[in-house]
Amino acid sequence: MFYNEMRVAMPLYVQVKQLIKEMIDKGELRPGDRVPGERELAERFRVSRMTARQALNELEAEGVLVRIQGKGSFVARPKIRQALLALTSFTEDMLLRGLTPHTKSLKTEVVEADRDLAELLGLVIPREVWRIERLRTADGEPMAFEVSYVPRRLCPDLDEQLRKEGSLYGVFERVYGLRLVRATQTIEAGIASREQGGLLGIKAGAAVLLLTRLTFTDEGVPVEYVKSVYRADRYKFVAELVRVAEGREPVRVTQKELPR
């Protein structure tokens, strides 16, 4: 089985990995299915248990398989592929994928922005902002935990409107007539705290994606600064990159606009 022309130069564990991936691609193994264990793979493919283990370990590290202690390895569900170019809301993103979005509002309060936040949101006086903590779910599954900061003067009764509408972008656009046109976003690797893990249904210390987004209206007014924690096992971000033509300036954001 291994010694066809294509595969002859590849290390054995890579071949085992490929065979498992092919089984997934062909639908012979579906998300949630148990993958044969080390011993079974070793027997089936006539490789050592160490080779089988290495293949399983790498597939787990790549997020193709999920290992549950004492139970074995299972095919992971495909991650949500989130485009990096479009300025969309969580609600829109989930609906687009045929998933039902839901928001659990954890805390809504008015706070005084500290200096950094005031600078990002372009606030002098008053510096009052809404601080909104929300857990976002799709088909009942926790996906992200978000803390948003919105200048109070732009949205005086945001708490009430959000309770009625559910979608923050919906409230911005439909209630306050704010037209969102662009945002700067950062993405970093992180690990879930115990509290975040509890909310997101993952272990404390599991990989997460930390995002910030600063969103502007068509008049260049900063309307929201958000810090989000996304499950790294459920999300991947996808961007199309274009080579900048000679003599053309790449798109730049000013240092001041760049969220921390």
Least distance CB 204 / ligand 16G (angstroms): 22
Q: Which is nearer to ligand 16G, 130 or 169 (CB)?
A: 169
Euclidean distance between CA atoms 152 and 134, whole angstroms: 18
Scan residues 169-208 and list those touching ligand 16G (CB under 6 A): 169-170, 185
Residues 58, 41: contact at Cβ < 8 Å? no
Residues 154, 221: contact at Cβ < 8 Å? yes
Contact segment (CB under 6 A) with ligand 16G among 36-44, 50-58, 84-92, 108-116 equals: 84-92
Euclidean distance between CA atoms 203 and 37, whole angstroms: 23
Least distance CB 31 / ligand 16G (angstroms): 24
SS3 state of residue 151: strand
Encoded tokens for 167: 């979608």
Least distance CB 213 / ligand 16G (angstroms): 3
- How far CA 69 is from CA of 72, 73, 96, 212, in Å, comes to 6, 9, 34, 33
The amino acid sitting at 181 is: V
Residue 167, interface with ligand 16G (CB under 6 A)?
yes
Scan residues 207-246 and list those touching ligand 16G (CB under 6 A): 211, 213, 224, 226, 228
Least distance CB 103 / ligand 16G (angstroms): 6
Residue ranges binding ligand 16G (CB under 6 A): 89-91, 146, 148, 167-170, 185, 211, 213, 224, 226, 228
